[in-house]
Amino acid sequence: MAKVRIKRAKIHFCDEEINAALEVIKSGRYVKGPNVSAFEEEFAKFVGTKHAVAVNSGTSALIAALLAAGVKRGDEVITTPFTFMATGNAILIAGGKPVLVDIDEDSMNIDPGAVKKAVTPKTKAIMPVHLYGQSADMDPILEVATEKDLIIVEDAAQAVGAKYKGDSCGTFGDINCFSFYPTKNMTVCGDGGMITTDNPELYEKSIMYRDAGRKKGDIERSYVPGYNFRLSELHAAIGRAQLKHVKKWNEERRQIATWYDKYLSGTKELILPEEMEYAYHIYHLYSPRAQRRDQLLKFLEQNGVEAGTHYPIPLHVQETFKHLGYGRGDFPKSEKAADMQISLPVYPGLKEKDIQYVAEQIKKFYKK
């Protein structure tokens, strides 16, 4: 195996995050402190919502948001099969039933037309996923939700700073969820997440489901069967430092995507990712679809390039979701994407010569 020349992902941090973490360690206060509150306020301002609730992972954000929205046993939640398994798992954990619909082939996000057809009297919510850092087409989804009186829960785990028609992802739904996992566009140097909403009732309920069912400032009473989804002071302090730089880092990712487009253009074995006209894509992942994807992955590894797949097994063929009754062939666009998608290195610090090298290896593979 060749020495790794270009890593698949890399956490971007500097002395500011280290100093912030040291201050928390020295303070002796590690939970429910000023950094968590400040991180929530700053993130809400960054996104453009009235409220934000910090939690310990993106998955926790999804679970708490669904519970706060009133999803219960028997309720249907429409989402995409082409996503990380946590999207569907959260619906099941909240007691709901995932109703899967296929993707739009150009954006690889949920198909709004399929969403409309999937609504039944049992539908409670729609959970669009802003995959790879590009927003789903929200206007037609919002129209369906308004017409049918449905809740929208945005899965914006990969979309910190992404926009739809000029407005931030995480502002369109009734309640919305972000992730700060280490490979995301910003991180807390561990797991972390955030819930955003303009709705004061959903905000209060999210706080309760985050913290043992307790209301803010009322620590002796539990009002709902809540969890411990709290984010630590240490992680919040790092998140605050990261948040200051995420716009710049997103621009770097967009530049890297431009280089990939430049050097991979004309490679007929690839379908390059398309930035939709309504979107500001922040390229959490740069994800073309590739012929002979698995062989290409091995070739890149042999030539010092780490790459990956997101996501090779759609939800409807995962063991966890077998009871829903779906089978292979039900969502052909998602299955095709799962078979072909490849994630190429994209993170701040990569240079044009790095991207040129990756592109050269890909072209070399297809000339074999």
Average pLDDT over residues 145-165: 99
Q: Is the pLDDT of residue 116 over 90?
A: yes
Per domain, the residue ranges of the chain are 13-101+108-239, 245-365
**Mean pLDDT, the chain, integer:** 98
pLDDT value of residue 14? 84
Q: For residue range 173-197, list pLDDT tens digits in order.
A: 999 999 999 999 999 999 999 999 9
Question: Do the two domains 13-101+108-239 and 245-365 of this chain adopt the same fold?
Answer: no
Q: For residue range 212-231, list pLDDT tens digits in order.
A: 999 998 999 999 999 999 99
- Look up the CATH architecture of domain 13-101+108-239: 3-Layer(aba) Sandwich (3.40)
Average pLDDT over residues 72-96: 99
Read off the tokens for 7. Answer: 């890593």
Q: Return the CATH number of the domain spanning residue range 245-365.
A: 3.90.1150.10
pTM score, whole prediction:
0.98
